[in-house]
Structure 1
Amino acid sequence: MSIDTDNNLLDAIDARTKLAGSNKMEILLFSLGSNEIFGINVFKVREVTNTPNITKTPNVPRGVEGFISLRGNIIPVISLSSFINLGDPAGCTNQTLIVTEFSRHTQGFLVHEVDRIIRVDWDKVKPPQDMLAGNEGLITAITELPDGRLVSILDVEQLLASALGEPDIPELAQFNDNIERYIFFADDSLVARKSIVSVLDRMGIKYQQAGNGIEAWEKLKSLAARAQQENRPLHESLRLILTDAEMPEMDGYVLTKNIKNDRRFDGIPIVMHSSLSSQANRTMGLQAGVDAYVPKFDPVILSETLRPLLV
């Protein structure tokens, strides 16, 4: 099966940007040659095509099949069946290539075949149980089709970190002014949370965190209620909220709207930290009310974005 996203998969991009704030997402379903169904956010997909000739390269990480030339760019090609062992890898023909673009990087994922695009409510997308979150945490969420079959949604950030390695965190200038401040961040990706913690630790910033939007909103409301009881403005201590865009149960756009509509959070900037780095996704974040939008996995840019907002 071959689908060119320039003509079909993303031809309704304007309509999809309207999903911001609706707590809905669209997932491209695919298989690895077994009965299991996997999914990836459509906004991460640039195109789907038949697998071209792959140039094999020695000394590459496990699962990296080689490289291809795509419209003048050399991109790595990763076999998902080498990472996900829920099905029978021998049943995967790797005949279809899903080309993805996020965090300002392009890469191809080999799969057996793609199925279709479905639209789901984020509150129907649940974090996996610990027993299902194996494979180095490559499954970030589970949702259910109308016929009762389950879809495992990939944590592509974790997948790339496993295949290509996590980015190095450089030394960053610390705050040494002894001001009591902390930030709150929400992200469902384990590798993203680890990266954020590393940046904040190097900056000397205290933090609290949550693993999805619902958890974040409940914790934030508790912080606001406590500040009210103590008769102090919350923004004096909670200086910034950092949120992912894609999260189970409540996405970052709805979380942002909830915060902006609650006067207890006045004066606290919101930064969206997302692997969805296209202009369309940036526009979605700004429309939802974020004060800044920063791509994931660039610690220097993240630090430079946060620093002036924390002064």
Structure 2
Amino acid sequence: MFNSDLRDSALLDSIDGRTRLVGSNRMELLLFSLGTEECFGINVFKVREVCCTPFITRTPNMPHGMEGLISLRGNVIPVLSLNTVLGLGAGQGLGSTMMVTEYSKHTLGFLVHGVDRIVRVDWDKVHAPDNLAAGTGTSSFITAITQLDDGRLVSILDVETILANTFGDAVVGNIVPVDNGHEVNVFFVDDSAVARRKIVEVLDRLGVRHKHAQNGLEAWNRLEGIASHATLIGRRVADEIDVILVDAEMPEMDGYVLTRNIKGDARFDGVPVVMHSSLSSEANRAMGRHVGVDAYVAKFDADVLAETLRPLLQRAVQA
């Protein structure tokens, strides 16, 4: 069923076609197998290449799931066994195929049993796992589930949780609070529990008030409710929300469509939108600019996030 012969140019033949997905609420998934009956997927934008598993050098005191290090075109990168990380057991083996991924400014090798193909899916058909039947013990590492035309379910990996589980949470250092930050309101949306936890930590240290949603559709419904209420009582949305922080990849509605909806609604005039995404390439930044984001921040650097938000928050305090 799975074919491991997809390689560099055949896998990632053109970025242009994928950038045209912006605003269409669609994404592309690379399907892969871990030697079980389950089908897994990862956003193509996270995958740099696919190759046969190379020689791996083991090192002392490796985190759980890390098999060692490899040298790839002059760069030393860690290699993780997804079977081990997801708790599928050593009996499945390490996997004969390696996906080289770029995520949150990390380059990692993920060992899998084989890759299948790239499929295009609608975000509104991608659902949080809580909305569906529970899976097989891998659910804590699954951010969403979608269904293929042939009826198979695809579990989409939560790479943020995998990174945090393997290497530990990103450390949030000293962040200077915003003067009179208690007067400022931030609305943020992210489907990853790990990301939400770290964002809350940054916003709390900035001393600002905040509300959040867990996917793009929930965020848009809540924002529309806030806008309708503001209109009803004769206030501007900018009086209720000072900054909106959006993730790019989210079930139900992605951050690009959400941003386009916000920027296309005059009620949100004057409210800046910051995109906070693990997809940190220049192509993804260009996609964000295409839909009108005011700033783009790569996950997860607490200092960079805080300093990107700070001038926007200070401007709101002074308004």
Q: For residues 121-160 of structure 1, give each alpha carbon's deviation from its aligned partner in whole angstroms, at most 9, with x where no partner exists.
A: 0001010027349547210000001111100000001111
Structure 2 residue 120 is the aligned partner of structure 1 residue 128: no
What's 2:61 paired with?
59
What's 2:179 paired with?
176
Deviation at residue 91 of structure 1 after TM alignment: 2.8
- 1:58 maps to a residue whose letter is P
Structure 1 unaligned segments of length 5 or more: list them.
Answer: none
What's 2:300 paired with?
297
What does 1:1-311 align with in structure 2 at a 5 Å threshold? 1-5=4-8, 7-85=9-87, 89-129=90-130, 131-132=134-135, 135=138, 137-177=140-180, 180-311=183-314
Residues in 2 aligned to 1:91 and 1:65: alpha-carbon distance in whole angstroms:
14
Is this contact kept in 2: 1:34–1:88, CA < 8 A?
Answer: no
Is this contact kept in 1: 2:181–2:206, CA < 8 A?
Answer: no
Q: For residues 213-271 of structure 1, give each alpha carbon's deviation from its aligned partner in whole angstroms, at most 9, with x where no partner exists.
A: 00000000111111112211121231110000000010000000100111110000000
Q: For residues 165-194 of structure 1, give each alpha carbon's deviation from its aligned partner in whole angstroms, at most 9, with x where no partner exists.
A: 111101101123266221101110111111
Deviation at residue 2 of structure 1 after TM alignment: 3.8
RMSD: 1.5
- C-alpha distance 2-58 of structure 1, shift in aligned 2 (>3 A): farther
Residues in 2 aligned to 1:126 and 1:303: alpha-carbon distance in whole angstroms:
30
Residues in 2 aligned to 1:161 and 1:133: alpha-carbon distance in whole angstroms:
21
- C-alpha distance 244-178 of structure 1, shift in aligned 2 (>3 A): closer
Residues in 1 aligned to 2:14 and 2:311: alpha-carbon distance in whole angstroms:
37
Residues in 2 aligned to 1:172 and 1:114: alpha-carbon distance in whole angstroms:
42
- C-alpha distance 244-92 of structure 1, shift in aligned 2 (>3 A): same
Structure 2 unaligned segments of length 5 or more: list them.
Answer: 315-319
Residues in 2 aligned to 1:135 and 1:114: alpha-carbon distance in whole angstroms:
19
Residues in 1 aligned to 2:94 and 2:15: alpha-carbon distance in whole angstroms:
30
Is this contact kept in 1: 2:182–2:208, CA < 8 A?
Answer: no
Residues in 1 aligned to 2:106 and 2:304: alpha-carbon distance in whole angstroms:
15
Deviation at residue 83 of structure 1 after TM alignment: 1.8
Is this contact kept in 2: 1:23–1:122, CA < 8 A?
Answer: yes
Q: Give the SS at the match of 1:238.
A: coil
Is this contact kept in 2: 1:137–1:190, CA < 8 A?
Answer: no
- 2:106 maps to a residue whose letter is H
Query: Deviation above 3 Å: which 4+ runs of structure 1?
Result: 130-136
Q: Give the SS at the match of 2:242.
A: strand
Which one is further off, 125-134 or 151-160? 125-134
Is this contact kept in 2: 1:34–1:92, CA < 8 A?
Answer: no
Is this contact kept in 2: 1:24–1:121, CA < 8 A?
Answer: yes
Q: Give the SS at the match of 1:101.
A: strand
- 2:280 maps to a residue whose letter is S
Is this contact kept in 1: 2:182–2:209, CA < 8 A?
Answer: no
Is this contact kept in 2: 1:39–1:154, CA < 8 A?
Answer: yes
- 1:17 maps to a residue whose letter is T
Count residues with an aligned counterpart: 309
Residues in 1 aligned to 2:181 and 2:204: alpha-carbon distance in whole angstroms:
15
Normalising to structure 1: TM-score of the pair? 0.96
Is this contact kept in 2: 1:132–1:139, CA < 8 A?
Answer: no
Q: For residues 48-82 of structure 1, give each alpha carbon's deviation from its aligned partner in whole angstroms, at most 9, with x where no partner exists.
A: 00000000011011000000001111100000001
